[in-house]
Chain A
Amino acid sequence: MKRVLFLVLALALLLSVAGCGAKPKTIDMDALAKELAGAKIYDDILSQMPDGMTERFYSMDNGDVVRSILYYGTGATAEEICILQCTDEKAAAKAEANAHTHIENQKTSFKNYVPAEIPKLDNAVVEVSGVYVIVVVSKDASTAQSIINKYTK
């Protein structure tokens, strides 16, 4: 009897541990956005855009996005910050692909307009963490990545 009880408890413990590991990490999007926007890694003046613009720039269906935060420049540079919380990891994979497409479109737009922006786009940070997709185009990708790591690791 004690052996059966011991096995049941062990199984319950094992299942609970497995459940904890599968639980997606929640990212404080506002704190991350604030820290990224406050970092001295931009040439431009970034302004937070209203909801809806992210879906437009990243060609996302409204049904795939729970919440988004977008910081955009004046048009003088390609710098931006985008944090997407998708409905599930499938939507996050779609958002990641669209992010790369958006970056390529920006390269086309800035290639002859402001060629100095191309290196920023080449070094753009695109991070996927569970259902979150984080994109940062700046003049210091290393610093941007360090900030993101604090919230995703």
Chain B
Amino acid sequence: MRKRDVAALIILVCLALILTAVTVFLITRSTAASNHNGSGKTTTETVTSFTPAPASTTETAATPSPVPTPEPTPEPTPTPTPDPTVPEQSNQAPSDYFTDAAFLGNSVVTGLDIYDYKNVLAGATFCAANSETVLGISDYVSQMSSHTYGKIYVGLGLNEVSYDRGVIRSSFVSLVQRLQKEHPGAIIYLMAVTPVSLNKSSTSKSFTKDLVVSFNQMLYEIAQQTGVYYMDDYTALSDSNGYLPSDVTSDGVHFTSAHYGLWFNYLLTHYIPVKADTANTATPNGN
């Protein structure tokens, strides 16, 4: 081989080596730049662009792939729950409105029977007695099952206002559901617990204004839940501070016949009109 040929060969080999070295250098440099992207933090937005380090790279340690955070699902707009409070009517209830009504209740409800001087509730049936509670009303309800009532007023809660609310709530729901089942055509009213006097509220642990107010809130919710009506007689019988006026009560809970007049007026002006041609199945949901 001539010297000229040898020289040419040597030059070619050198060029090849140089090109190879440059190529390797460029590849290595590009890989290093990808591993150190910005500050090195992984965000939700960059998760998809995250590139794991090549196995051959010794400059950075392998990092685990972060778990992608799902987009929060927007909550559906809740359907407004209808207000179960019985609205005030422009006209008083007709004189025969209560002839097919039943009143379930305690000693305070018996007053609606005893003090009905003007026969406002003419014809109504009273299933009420002293000390009655939602826990012991079942006998009366059983007695009612043999009759057909167009309206049922439930006036319970005063005697159990300090009881376990979980138990009482469950009992009220069961009572309402039983009445709905046994009297499918009846309009059912849950009457609020009547107010107590300031003195009673201040001196008693069982009959406080706060307990009564929270109990009525529970009755309101039960009415919403079960689709019956709520009667706010509490407000009708209270003074401006939410108490039973002191001059109408001797024990802070029961009140005079004159004060019952406010309750009668409330019953006469807050009722659900009965449709003459259809069943009396009016509910707050309009069903």
Is A76 a contact partner of B257 (Cβ separation < 8 A)? no
B254: contacting residue among A49, A75, A109, A112, CB under 8 A: A75
> Cβ of B42: which chain A residues have Cβ within 8 Å of it?
none
Segment of A27-35, A39-47, A140-148 in the binding face: A39-47
| A77, B253: Cα distance in complex, Å | 12
Is A47 a contact partner of B256 (Cβ separation < 8 A)? yes
Residue of B nearest to A108 (CB): B130
For the complex, is A53 an interface residue (Cβ under 8 Å from B)?
yes
> Cβ of A109: which chain B residues have Cβ within 8 Å of it?
129-130
| A73, B130: Cα distance in complex, Å | 14
Is B130 a contact partner of A74 (Cβ separation < 8 A)? no
User: Contacts A109-B130, A113-B107, A113-B131: A76 and B258 contacting too (C-beta < 8 A)?
Assistant: no
Interface 1/0s, chain B 115-128, versus A by CB < 8 A?
00100000000000
B256: contacting residue among A45, A112, A113, CB under 8 A: A45
User: Contacts A47-B257, A47-B258: A76 and B251 contacting too (C-beta < 8 A)?
Assistant: yes
| A45, B130: Cα distance in complex, Å | 18
Chain A interface, number of residues (Cβ within 8 angstroms): 18
Q: How far is the CB of A100 from chain B (nearest CB, A)?
A: 20
Is A53 a contact partner of B114 (Cβ separation < 8 A)? yes
> Cβ of B114: which chain A residues have Cβ within 8 Å of it?
49, 53, 72, 75
Interface 1/0s, chain B 244-265, versus A by CB < 8 A?
0000111101111110000000
For the complex, is A50 an interface residue (Cβ under 8 Å from B)?
yes
Within 8 A of B (CB), among A93-123: 109-110, 112-114
Is B250 a contact partner of A77 (Cβ separation < 8 A)? yes
| A43, B253: Cα distance in complex, Å | 14
Is A74 a contact partner of B256 (Cβ separation < 8 A)? yes
> Cβ of B129: which chain A residues have Cβ within 8 Å of it?
109
For the complex, is B108 an interface residue (Cβ under 8 Å from A)?
yes
> Cβ of A73: which chain B residues have Cβ within 8 Å of it?
250, 254
Is A74 a contact partner of B250 (Cβ separation < 8 A)? yes
| A53, B118: Cα distance in complex, Å | 12
Q: How far is the CB of B131 from chain A (nearest CB, A)?
A: 5
A76: contacting residue among B110, B117, B131, B254, CB under 8 A: B254
| A77, B117: Cα distance in complex, Å | 20
> Cβ of B258: which chain A residues have Cβ within 8 Å of it?
47
Q: How far is the CB of A53 from chain B (nearest CB, A)?
A: 7
Interface 1/0s, chain A 42-73, versus B by CB < 8 A?
01110101100100000000000000000011
Q: How far is the CB of B261 from chain A (nearest CB, A)?
A: 11
| A50, B257: Cα distance in complex, Å | 11
Is A75 a contact partner of B111 (Cβ separation < 8 A)? yes
Is B253 a contact partner of A76 (Cβ separation < 8 A)? yes
Q: How far is the CB of A52 from chain B (nearest CB, A)?
A: 9
Q: How far is the CB of A10 from chain B (nearest CB, A)?
A: 57
Is A74 a contact partner of B255 (Cβ separation < 8 A)? yes
Residue of A nearest to B117 (CB): A50
Is A75 a contact partner of B131 (Cβ separation < 8 A)? no
> Cβ of A49: which chain B residues have Cβ within 8 Å of it?
114, 117, 257
Please give the residue numbers on chain B whose beta carbons come within 8 Å of chain A beta carbons, in ascending order: 107-108, 110-111, 114, 117, 129-131, 248-251, 253-258
Extra inter-chain contacts (17) besides given A49-B114, A77-B251, CB under 8 Å:
A44-B251, A45-B256, A47-B257, A49-B257, A50-B117, A53-B114, A73-B250, A74-B111, A74-B250, A74-B254, A75-B108, A75-B110, A75-B114, A76-B254, A109-B130, A112-B131, A113-B130
Can you give 5 A-B contacts (C-beta < 8 A)? Answer: A72-B114, A74-B111, A76-B250, A113-B130, A114-B130
